[in-house]
Amino acid sequence: MPGFVLQAAIEGLVAGGIYALLGLGFHLMFGVLKRVNLAYGTTLMASVYLAALSVNLHGVPWPAALPLALIIGIAITLAVERLAFAWVRGDGRFSMVATLGIWMIIEEFLIRTPGHGRGQAIVNPFDLALVSVGRLELRVDHIFAFVLSLALCAGIYAFLFHSRAGLKIRVVVEDRALAGLLGIDAASVTRWTFALAAVIGVIAGYVFATAQHAIDVHIGMWATLKGLVILVLGGAGNLWGVVAAALGLGIMERVGTELAGPGYRDLIGYGLMLCLLALFPHGFGGRARLASG
């Protein structure tokens, strides 16, 4: 294997950690809760954008940016849960259209926010520091994202399948009526899971933004499309399949960019999704059941 291809593959694997973080949030929202929330990607990116805007225009210290983004993200996500899901339970089509409308409203609001330009600068605590491994050079922030994604994946798996709270979530998802008979507050469990998905998503958005040194209003669409690609490739409801798909997509895009040029990066991802869907209609993970892990 040529050296530059190996370098690109390793870079793609490590950078895929950012995709994996994004995929984890989509897994919780779409795979676990089974809620088609099209406003999810825009919500997490809007949270990071507003936090960066507060820092750049209102003097909020940079260390407070992530906590502020988390607060904003949780608030918006819970509002979406109330407006698009809690009040229209059982009508998935209405909820999907409602979240699409919320997506457009959030994006339009941010575009008209004072101080909006091409994007907001955001500080990368690692800057562009590199680590040399033999002849390979890897970005420290990408390594951090890779390790963080694996740690969060293990944590979410342990939470869902080895904790009482996780058991409650699975019961609510599988049979809401049974959950009520067992004394489980289904509405409360759903809200807490939405909040957890918001936390994971905002962390993913923040890590992505710091890697790019900026955040733009329109990145929400990119996040939504990329998250759905990862979810489809990994298999909805399959936690480890989603992570594997994210890392694999990172490798394919990086190697493809190196061989064909940066203009083909997204084409590679979407083309790969269409090809694999023809062969594996339920993703690599198959029709995964949440109850079995």
Which amino acid is located at 275 in the chain?
A: C
Spatial separation of the C-alpha atoms in residues 29 and 148, rounded to whole Å = 19
Mean pLDDT score of the chain, rounded to an integer?
Answer: 84
Which residues, including other chains, have CB under 8 Å from residue 233's CB and lie 6 or more apart? 245, 248, 249, 272, 273, 276, 283, 284
Instruction: Give 70-123 pLDDT, tens digit per residue.
Output: 999 999 999 999 988 887 766 678 888 899 999 999 998 888 877 665 678 888
Place of tokens 């491994």: 133
Mean pLDDT of 1-16: 78
Mean pLDDT of 36-42: 91
Domain 3-292, CATH among 1.10.3470, 3.30.750, 1.25.40, 1.20.1410? 1.10.3470
**Is residue 181 predicted with pLDDT exceeding 70?**
yes
Q: Which two tokens stand for residue 174?
A: 């599988």
Q: Which two tokens stand for residue 229?
A: 């690609």
Which amino acid is located at 3 in the chain?
A: G
Mean pLDDT of 195-223: 89
Which of helix, strand or coil describes residue 137? strand
Binning pLDDT at 50, 70 and 90, where does residue 284 land?
Answer: low
Torsion-angle region of 127 (φ positive above 0: left; ψ -120 to 50: alpha; else: beta): left
Determine which helix (DSSP H) or strand (DSSP E) holds 120, and give its type and residue range. strand 120-121
Domains in the chain: boundaries: 3-292
Instruction: Give 213-256 pLDDT, tens digit per residue.
Output: 889 888 888 899 888 888 888 877 788 888 888 988 888 888 88
Torsion-angle region of 177 (φ positive above 0: left; ψ -120 to 50: alpha; else: beta): alpha
Residue 125, exposed/middle/buried by CB under 10 A (0-12, 13-18, 19+)?
Answer: exposed
Pairing of strands 120-121, 214-215: antiparallel
Which of helix, strand or coil describes residue 172? helix
255/136: higher pLDDT: 255
pLDDT of residue 89: 66
**Is residue 286 predicted with pLDDT exceeding 60?**
no
Mean pLDDT of 255-266: 79
**Lowest-pLDDT choice from 9-13, 22-26, 157-161, 283-287:** 283-287
What size, in residues, is the chain?
293
C-alpha distances in Å from residue 242, one per residue of 252, 281, 283: 15, 15, 9
Q: Could you give the percent of the chain with pLDDT greater than 90?
A: 21
Mean pLDDT of 261-279: 77
pLDDT of residue 6: 81
Asked whether 40 and 25 are in contact (CB, 8 A), the reply is yes
